[in-house]
Amino acid sequence: MNDWHRIFAQNVLVPPHPQRARQLSKESTAFQCVLKWLEGPLIKQGMLEVLSQVECHLRVSFFDVTYRHFFGRTWKSTVKPTKQLSRQLSRIVFNEPLYFHTSLNHPNIVAVVEVVTEGKKQDGTLQTLSCGFGILQIFSNKPESPTCASQDKRLRLYHGTPRALLHPLLQDPVEQNRHMTLIENCSLQYSLKPHPALEPAFPLLPENLLMSGLQQVPGLLPAPGDTGDALRKPRLQKSVTWYLDDLFFTLYPSLEKFEEELLELLISDHFREGGGVLDSGALEILERRLHVGVHNGLGFVQRPQVVVLVPEMDVALTRSASFSRKVGSSSKTSSGNQALVLRSRLRLPEMVKHPAFAVVFQLEYVFNSPSGVDGNVRTIIVCSGFIW
């Protein structure tokens, strides 16, 4: 599972602002953004005199102007040498395609492109500096024709870092704010256009995840030829169907002790949040649910299935005598540590033979607790998640 853990840790996404998340549309739109070249005297000559082995790269992040909220995951381009970037007519070429899809169709959802340089100081330590940033409009209030949308555009760059966008003085529209200062004769050439060819790969790519066509996506075949761009015309790996039978879960130190401690923690949280003293006898476990889904390290390939688990002895009372004897013998060997059992068979047709694909389980408890004069309320607690 090392591949899954590595990919998952490298691609954790910051969710959109809660207010924006409530406005999600049903359909997601795919885009291709090609960052072509950076030109202009972006780096001061003094920086080149102090630092050695100076290199440059681009960072791209999603930003919600309305709520001043960065989300998704910051993407980093390949690193390029910057020997001539202090000259008036200098140019550094990236030509790197960037892909994403989002359902946040709003003019205030933008991509922030930051130019970052790094070099070694005299003592050998690495120094990283932000040389400016630009605000790339994804959606517009004015509809554009497909031809215009695919033409090259020039992104103006501002002094400072993208963190300036979080300052309360930068009110919308940000580009017209007096605190934003343009860098003269500096710009980034790019193109942005819809990319419907990415839609078959939506199950493998979460929303608001910026990915280069040069990055490997678990579940996609490598690009044919020497292009290396697997997202320009994505090709899916063949899926196989897995079946999970006789699933059971043991909880430490035992099912009874685990659920007793869980009830105690729930009562403690209820009291700490000002809900008053809650009697443990008033709480009742309604369901023990299990969420099961195939995950490729970036996200769930399909919406996880939700099934109900039951205590092992409840199964023994309802199944046949032969199965009861089997459960009884397993209970004895486990020294009374009763398990939670799934009574049905699980079918997972979206599995792919790839080391980054895993089956993810999440255990969830549903409680019934009193809520005063209004009767009872259902409380859902997610206990743990684990992979296989």
Q: What does the pLDDT look like over 290-345, one tens digit per residue? A: 999 999 999 999 999 999 999 988 766 555 544 443 444 444 444 446 899 998 89
Domains and CATH numbers, the chain: 12-236 (2.60.40.150), 240-387 (no CATH)
Take residue 173 and report the two structure tokens written for it. Answer: 């529209």
CB 213 within 8 A of CB 99: yes
Q: Are strands 91-102 and 69-76 parallel, antiparallel or unpaired?
A: unpaired
| Residue-level pLDDT at 281 | 65
Query: Which of 85-99, 117-131, 280-294, 338-352 comes out lowest in average pLDDT?
Result: 85-99
Q: What is the average pLDDT score of the chain?
A: 83
CB 369 within 8 A of CB 376: yes
Closest-CA residue to 66 (of 149, 170, 143):
170
Cα–Cα distances in Å, from 12 out to 15, 49, 74, 207? 9, 38, 10, 12
In the predicted model, is pLDDT for residue 278 greater than 70? no
Mark 247-278 as b/e (b = at least 16 C-beta within 10 Å): bebebeebbeebbeebbeebbeebeeeeeeeb
pLDDT digit string, tens, across residues 108-156: 999 999 999 888 888 878 888 888 999 999 998 765 544 445 689 999 9
| Residue-level pLDDT at 217 | 95
Q: CA angle 184-190-196, nearest 5°?
A: 155
pTM (predicted TM-score): 0.85
| Residue-level pLDDT at 120 | 85
| Residue-level pLDDT at 17 | 94
| Residue-level pLDDT at 52 | 78
